[in-house]
């Protein structure tokens, strides 16, 4: 047999997918204890499928992180990164949908085998913690679990792995460094921040004038609208004043550096320029992932409330309350969401110098 024949020899579907191992991995404790609970099978399979998808998320996310670890990111990789982050968001959509399948398990059905699960808990999912850490969730910003470090439920080797991951650059930190290198913020005579400030002032003056002159609001309503509109000392202060931005950074209100925030804002405002379209999609996919994780956490909390009410979780947590708080507190890319606050209409966008527009476009010279 030649080497190629051996290399590309036939393989059976069952062997390739290791189905004997996978399909023999559902061991119902209720059966082992001679009190079979029919729906325990569903409970096991749902969580096993979650773990398989977590493995794929880690596989894709790690590859994207590797692309951004160098100071000079190969622009050809941006499209691949967008594609893989999009796959992660599609997987997360499936994870949210799976909760509906789990909710076919009624509270009474769950009570048939719940007592056999102690002290097992989804909190002990090592892979999910890896996903969170890789994305950028840090220990100090986590919701406390039984007043203990989140990693205390894992083995020493697993705790070490999580510590090493936290000590390294997360996806959030890698994107921050990439955004800090955004070119064109200052290009020859063009200074993005200065032109943006003028545009913001013009936009606010127009909107303030429109509110003051409208005949459809009384004086009290006008004052309320003007307050809601804000000015350069409110919503826009964090980007127009670097010192105020750094104060918010120090307080933990925001996570992205000043320079990275300017880079993200520039990409969002001028996303229609050809060269910025993929970077914009990249930032959008990170927002999608953050939003879907928040949705999954919230749906998980609602499912727990429906299933066990206000009972304590099998792992000893406060159950519903703990899960709901993680949905609120564990957002990672909140700064990307905050960019929307700083957006201005296309009609107010400062015009880019012709040579800069050329740099941001795909162009070629015809050779006769």
Q: What is the CATH number of the domain that holds 85?
A: 1.20.58.480
Q: Residue 12 domain-assigned?
A: yes
Of the candidates 145, 155, 198, the one whose C-alpha atom is nearest the C-alpha of residue 317 is 145
Which candidate, 248, 244, 268, places its Cα nearest to that of 336? 268
**DSSP H helices in 126-218:** 126-135, 156-167, 171-180, 192-213
Buried b (16+ CB within 10 A) or exposed e, 84-120: bbbbbbebbeebbebbeebeebeeebbebbbebeeee
Q: Which residue has the tokens 């001028």?
A: 270
Domain total for the chain? Answer: 1
Q: Is residue 298 part of a domain?
A: yes
Backbone angles phi, psi at 148, to 5 degrees: -125, 155
Six token digits for residue 21: 């191992």
Residue 364, domain member (yes or no): no
Tell me the C-alpha distance between 181 and 191, whole Å: 15
Residue 290 lies inside a defined structural domain of this protein = yes
Residue 29 inside a domain? The answer is yes
Per-residue pLDDT of the chain (368 residues; tens, 9 = 90+): 455 656 777 899 999 999 999 999 999 999 999 999 999 999 999 999 999 999 999 999 999 999 999 888 888 899 999 999 999 999 999 999 999 999 999 999 999 999 898 888 888 999 999 999 999 999 888 887 667 788 988 999 999 999 999 999 999 999 999 999 998 898 888 999 999 999 999 999 999 999 999 999 999 999 999 888 877 777 788 899 999 999 999 998 999 999 999 999 999 999 999 999 999 999 999 999 999 999 999 999 999 988 888 776 555 555 788 888 888 899 999 999 999 989 999 999 999 999 999 989 875 555 54
Task: Classify residue 318: in a domain, yes or no.
Answer: yes
365 in a domain, yes or no?
no
Q: Rounded distance, CA 291 to CA 85, Å?
A: 13
Among 183, 180, 179, 168, residue whose Cα is nearest residue 66: 168
Residue 89 domain boundaries: 3-359
Q: What is the pLDDT of residue 188?
A: 86
Which CA distances in Å does 311 have to 80, 100, 152, 305? 45, 21, 23, 9
Is 205 strand, coil or helix?
helix
Residue 154 to residues 162, 300, 317, Cα–Cα distance (Å): 10, 22, 16
> Which residues lie below 8 Å from residue 327, measured CB to CB, with a gap of 6+?
294, 297, 298, 301
48 within domain boundaries = yes
């Amino acid at each position: 047999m030649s080497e190629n024949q051996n290399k590309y020899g036939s393989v059976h579907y069952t062997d390739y997918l290791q189905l004997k191992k996978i399909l023999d991995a559902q061991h119902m404790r209720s059966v082992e204890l001679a009190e079979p609970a029919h729906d325990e099978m569903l409970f096991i399979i749902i969580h096993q499928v979650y773990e398989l998808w977590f493995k794929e998320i880690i596989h894709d996310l790690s590859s994207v992180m590797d692309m951004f670890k160098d100071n000079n990111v190969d622009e050809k990789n941006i499209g691949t990164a967008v594609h893989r982050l999009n796959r992660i968001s599609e997987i997360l959509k499936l994870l949210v949908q799976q909760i509906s399948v789990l909710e076919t398990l009624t509270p009474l059905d769950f009570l048939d085998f719940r007592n056999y699960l102690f002290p097992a808990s989804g909190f002990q999912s090592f892979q999910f913690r890896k996903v969170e850490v890789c994305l950028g969730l840090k220990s100090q910003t986590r919701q406390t679990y039984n007043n203990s470090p989140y990693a205390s439920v894992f083995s020493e080797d697993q705790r070490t792995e999580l510590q090493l991951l936290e000590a390294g650059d997360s996806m959030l930190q890698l994107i921050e460094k990439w955004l800090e290198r955004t070119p064109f913020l200052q290009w020859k005579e063009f200074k993005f921040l200065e032109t943006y400030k003028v545009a913001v002032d013009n936009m606010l003056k127009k909107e303030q004038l429109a509110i003051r002159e409208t005949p459809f609001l009384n004086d009290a309503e006008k004052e309320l609208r003007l307050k809601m509109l804000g000015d350069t000392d409110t919503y826009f202060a964090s980007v127009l004043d670097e010192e105020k931005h750094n104060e918010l950074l120090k307080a933990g209100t925001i996570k992205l550096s000043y320079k990275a925030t300017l880079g993200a804002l520039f990409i969002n405002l001028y996303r229609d320029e050809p060269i910025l379209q993929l970077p914009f999609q990249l930032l959008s996919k990170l927002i999608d992932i953050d939003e879907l994780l928040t949705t999954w956490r919230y749906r998980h909390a609602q499912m727990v409330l429906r299933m066990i009410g206000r009972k304590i979780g099998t792992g000893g947590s406060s159950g519903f309350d703990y899960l709901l708080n993680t949905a609120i507190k564990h957002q990672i890319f909140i700064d990307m969401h905050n960019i929307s606050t700083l957006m201005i209409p296309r009609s107010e966008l400062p015009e880019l110098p012709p040579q800069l527009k050329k740099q941001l476009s795909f162009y070629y010279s015809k050779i006769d």
